[in-house]
Structure 1
Amino acid sequence: MHVVSREEMQAIDRYTIGQIGLGGPLLMENAGRAVYDELAPNLKKGEKICVVLGKGNNGGDGFVAARMLLDSGVDEEVWLLPDPLEIKGDAAYHMNAFLKAGGRIRTIQEEREAFSQSIGEADLVIDALLGTGFQGTPYPECLEVIDQMNQSKATVVSVDLPSGVPANGEFFSHHAVAADLTLTLECPKLAQFVQPAARCFGEVRTLSIGIPEVSVQQAGVRRKVWREEDVRCTLPHRDPFSHKGSHGKGLLIAGSEQMSGAAFFSARAALRSGIGLLSLSVPDEVRPTIASHLPETMFMPRSALDFQGLSGIAIGPGLGREPEQADLVRRVLEYDSVPCVIDADGIYYLSGMTELLRKRKSPIVLTPHPGEMAHLLGTSVSEVEKSRFDVSKQFAEKFGVYLVLKGRNTIITAPDGGQVVNTTGNAALAKGGSGDVLTGILFAFLLQHGRTLDAVCNAVYLHGALADDLVKTGHSQLDVLATDLIEHIPPVLHHLYQKATC
């Protein structure tokens, strides 16, 4: 499933219409029918539905859905914000079809009080006011309609995007529709995955409208959502004649006297995620405590680190910020023979070593949260959050790294600028230790997968899926601990492997 910008979606439509020959009215018919078909199973005879339309293609999609609703047994009212004479092109074609099929249009500007009353009495509101083409700030009369939809007690379903949300996810301060459900057409838009836009979408379902894959390829789209079927096709499968060395020999440099738990979480998660051999380097003061809980792990003193014979290194969880830790990070960066993962306090020291990233030939994975990303770039968290896709892409391409920008809808960016969005996970992960668990899973997967990007995407997917499954099976978002995530790896991995398709 591809993720597109406003400009990419417009290019996709142009190619589909101009080169493939699927006309605009046909695509609009497909879109409106898809919306209706998604809603139809839950419609009840006699319930009141208000369809709110603008003058663009989004309104045209709404006219098609409204035409389908005419024969559904519901009590439908169609409200148009602009004058009907302003409707042009494909939208006008479908407006006329709606009227000839027996539909009636009421105009909001001429019946303001009646519209307000109708919205207040509605059971369902279909928002087809503003779509992908919207930019800037809505006109005052449009904002007024948006506010009325938000004040309604009805279920609000937005077509493609909640009205008022810019498709590219630019920052905005005006009001936008707060949808209960958004029916996105063909491809999710960038706005779905960044704040503040993402808060407006509610539940999201993506509907196919018959656009061929070649149209997306021609538009040069290089973003996708990582789904369960992607995981199933890319999980590593063990050779029955393999041995422990076949599945990675890794060194994890983590933990400090104050944060010994971080080392435990990462190491335990790596073991549960299939790493063949794991050595752990922690300060001598905490080694006895950790060793008693990790009998499967070997230990390597900080004073005698030896990278020879390893197939990968991870550094950072709970490392601490004493000056001597910077030397450890530098040593790992300069050892270019194996891939590495850098997280947490390891990322803290990277801001002064970014040129070393460029020199590496082996893959390197960075897993910053927005605060760590802001520190790396010398900017604010708000600036990072405003441009998550662009910030990730620019950094990954500039320094040749795999970048995992954590958060709701984690963005994974490859050195070539290709991007993957992960949609698993919930607020249960907003707790100390969960990032350390991700580091361990990612490290183990990195040493077992053939392709680095598959390893990173599968690790992030699994990490989020653990929280999702825990919340579905007896936990709340408040009580999930890092240890719960780790001990839930076996059943979730079992489920994914049972359904593996490749």
Structure 2
Amino acid sequence: MKLSVAEQMRQMDRKAIETGIPDIVLMENASIKSFYKILEYYGEVNGALAVAFVGAGNNGGDALAISRHLYNNGASVFVYMLVEEDKLNPSPKTNFEIIKNMGIEYKLVENEDDFNEELVREADIIIDGIFGTGLSREVGGKFKKAIELINSSPAFVVAVDIPSGIRADTGEIMGVAVEADLTPTFALAKPGHFLYPGREYAGNVEVVDISTPRYVVDDFEPDFIAIDEQEIILTYRDATAHKGNFGHLAIVGGSKGKSGAVIMASKAALKMGVGLASAVIPESINTAFESSILEAMSYPIKDVDGFFSDEYIDKVLEFVADKTAICFGMGLGITESTKALTRAILQINKPLIIDADGLNCLSFFVDELKNRKAPTVLTPHPKEFSRLTGKPTKDVLADRLNIVKDFAKEYGVILVLKMADTLIATPDGKIYINTTGNQGLATGGSGDVLSGMIGAFLAEGYDTLQAAINGVYLHGLAADLAVEAGITYESLTPTDIIGFINEAINFLRS
């Protein structure tokens, strides 16, 4: 799903107008399509009380036009004008003239005391047309008061294009923001619809066509893409296929006390369809591994105190050299020996995914990533990414969009930043935002499962970016389906996620 930042959307609107479609026609189309979505989600509006909040931009004009459609379909409508008429753009001004001529009640709000709080609380439907996608400053004064009133009402809240107070390009809350039930958005969705915290405020996001010429949308090259079902590619197995057609994944990791990480990664890879999975593990955890999983092979390496040893690194490299792909780092531990092993693994010319302690070891010589020729996927959470970049975690979180983009470009990797809205950054500057998953994933081991899933796709021969997209989306989808089946967020375990991989694949194929 292509996403448009605010400036790109303005350019697309200009191109639409240049083709001969007047601005007011685009506005009318936006209002009609939004009205239909209200009927779809809210139901019959006859007899409902609708209150609209109107700002200066075209979103305000959209809200005025929606108010007209509600009124014509039997709703009682009251409009709060948060700006004076002479500050309206031409198209919103025309819609305001129509509102006045139709006799729809309105009030100019000059200060915070001009609202009737009881009226807002009694509303059945609220239309938020205060700010649009261009908001870039903190919300204050009567605008802040309006948003607070909207959020205090039990009404069904409809945000025009994007909830007021959300920055369209980043999902940031600019002081305060409308909590919407429905957000009809025009031509293309915006990053702020899918990036937290904006994602929590947007409710049901519906992209509606407002007659923007198709070629304008088709020719648009986005910097942001939301991962939905259309982004997923799953191949079908030929009837004559054999295990050798689906790759051999080497899963390298584990240490004393952390055998579970490699076990979960191996189980996830097998559930994801890899032909063969071999775990390269310290010898001291081999019994735990083999007693927990029957379908994977193990290649135990002599260890020291439960960790990989310098002395046997060559054995690891020799084993993985002819495998289709390598999944590395989960449960590895951080010692001088595991750092040396990480450095050596970088030299293997095979598709590689690095996770967990593999990333922590990598942080000591991250520049060596630049020497890799084969595809590389990194899957850090914010703290691990902080170590890779040398930036404090709070700075990573504050500017993650730019930091992940710059890192992926500089090091030529596919970077998966694991968060509630997991980001996938590519070397060519694109950022993919995942749309599946839930808070049940916030538990140790979820990342090991994800690594195994992505590793399986790499071993099966998928394009590197597609492997990451497939793995991230299906991982989240499996968690969502598990919760739908009755597993609570608190009770969801990584093993549950593995158990629902099959359901996730079935869901997509159906």
Q: Which moved more, 1:299-308 or 1:56-65?
A: 299-308
User: Structure 1 residues 4 and 144, CA, compared in 2 at 3 Å: closer, same or farther?
Assistant: same
Whichever residue aligns with residue 207 of structure 2, its letter is T
Whichever residue aligns with residue 333 of structure 2, its letter is G
User: Structure 1 residues 197 and 440, CA, compared in 2 at 3 Å: closer, same or farther?
Assistant: same
Cα deviation 1:340-379 (Å, max 9, x = unaligned) = 0001111112222222211212110011111111221111
1:132/1:161 contact within 8 Å kept? yes
**How far has the Cα of 1:457 moved from its partner?**
0.7
Aligned to 1:482: 494
SS at match of 1:285: helix
Cα deviation 1:7-34 (Å, max 9, x = unaligned) = 111112122222x332211111111111
Q: Which moved more, 1:401-410 or 1:238-247?
A: 238-247
Whichever residue aligns with residue 417 of structure 2, its letter is L
Structure 1 CA distance for aligned equivalents of residues 36 and 494 of structure 2: 41
Structure 2 CA distance for aligned equivalents of residues 388 and 218 of structure 1: 27
- The root-mean-square deviation of aligned C-alpha atoms, in Å, is 2.0
Q: Which moved more, 1:210-219 or 1:151-160?
A: 210-219
SS at match of 1:334: coil
Aligned to 1:10: 10
1:23-422 aligned at under 5 Å gives the runs: 23-41=22-40, 42-109=43-110, 112-113=113-114, 115-169=116-170, 171=172, 174-216=175-217, 218-231=219-232, 234-302=233-301, 303=312, 304-305=315-316, 306=318, 307-336=320-349, 338-422=350-434
User: Structure 1 residues 219 and 241, CA, compared in 2 at 3 Å: closer, same or farther?
Assistant: closer
SS at match of 1:66: helix
Structure 2 CA distance for aligned equivalents of residues 421 and 265 of structure 1: 25
Aligned to 1:433: 445
**How far has the Cα of 1:170 moved from its partner?**
6.8
Which of the numbers 448, 455, 472 marks the counterpart of 2:484? Answer: 472
User: Structure 1 residues 111 and 491, CA, compared in 2 at 3 Å: closer, same or farther?
Assistant: closer
Whichever residue aligns with residue 464 of structure 1, its letter is G
1:119/1:149 contact within 8 Å kept? yes
Task: Tell me the TM-score normalized by structure 2.
Answer: 0.92
User: Structure 1 residues 213 and 315, CA, compared in 2 at 3 Å: closer, same or farther?
Assistant: farther
2:169/2:192 contact within 8 Å kept? yes
User: Structure 1 residues 110 and 448, CA, compared in 2 at 3 Å: closer, same or farther?
Assistant: same
Whichever residue aligns with residue 90 of structure 2, its letter is G
Whichever residue aligns with residue 379 of structure 1, its letter is K
SS at match of 1:99: helix
1:194/1:386 contact within 8 Å kept? no
Which residues of structure 1 form unaligned runs of 5+? none
Q: Which moved more, 1:142-151 or 1:436-445?
A: 142-151
**How far has the Cα of 1:384 moved from its partner?**
1.9
Structure 2 CA distance for aligned equivalents of residues 490 and 427 of structure 1: 21
Structure 2 CA distance for aligned equivalents of residues 411 and 147 of structure 1: 31
1:269/1:441 contact within 8 Å kept? yes
SS at match of 2:415: strand
User: Structure 1 residues 280 and 140, CA, compared in 2 at 3 Å: closer, same or farther?
Assistant: same
**How far has the Cα of 1:102 moved from its partner?**
4.5
Whichever residue aligns with residue 16 of structure 1, its letter is A
2:196/2:421 contact within 8 Å kept? no
SS at match of 2:283: coil
Structure 1 CA distance for aligned equivalents of residues 262 and 112 of structure 2: 65
Cα deviation 1:313-336 (Å, max 9, x = unaligned) = 110111111221111211111112
Structure 1 CA distance for aligned equivalents of residues 324 and 411 of structure 2: 22
Whichever residue aligns with residue 35 of structure 2, its letter is Y
Cα deviation 1:236-289 (Å, max 9, x = unaligned) = 222333321211111101211121111111000001111111110111111111
Q: Which moved more, 1:215-224 or 1:384-393?
A: 215-224
Structure 1 CA distance for aligned equivalents of residues 71 and 383 of structure 2: 51
Structure 1 CA distance for aligned equivalents of residues 148 and 112 of structure 2: 16
Matched positions, count: 494
User: Structure 1 residues 444 and 268, CA, compared in 2 at 3 Å: closer, same or farther?
Assistant: same
Whichever residue aligns with residue 430 of structure 1, its letter is A
Task: Tell me the TM-score normalized by structure 1.
Answer: 0.93
Q: Which moved more, 1:195-204 or 1:117-126?
A: 195-204
SS at match of 1:220: coil
User: Structure 1 residues 110 and 171, CA, compared in 2 at 3 Å: closer, same or farther?
Assistant: closer
User: Structure 1 residues 22 and 447, CA, compared in 2 at 3 Å: closer, same or farther?
Assistant: farther
Which residues of structure 2 form unaligned runs of 5+? 302-311
2:194/2:226 contact within 8 Å kept? no
2:136/2:174 contact within 8 Å kept? no
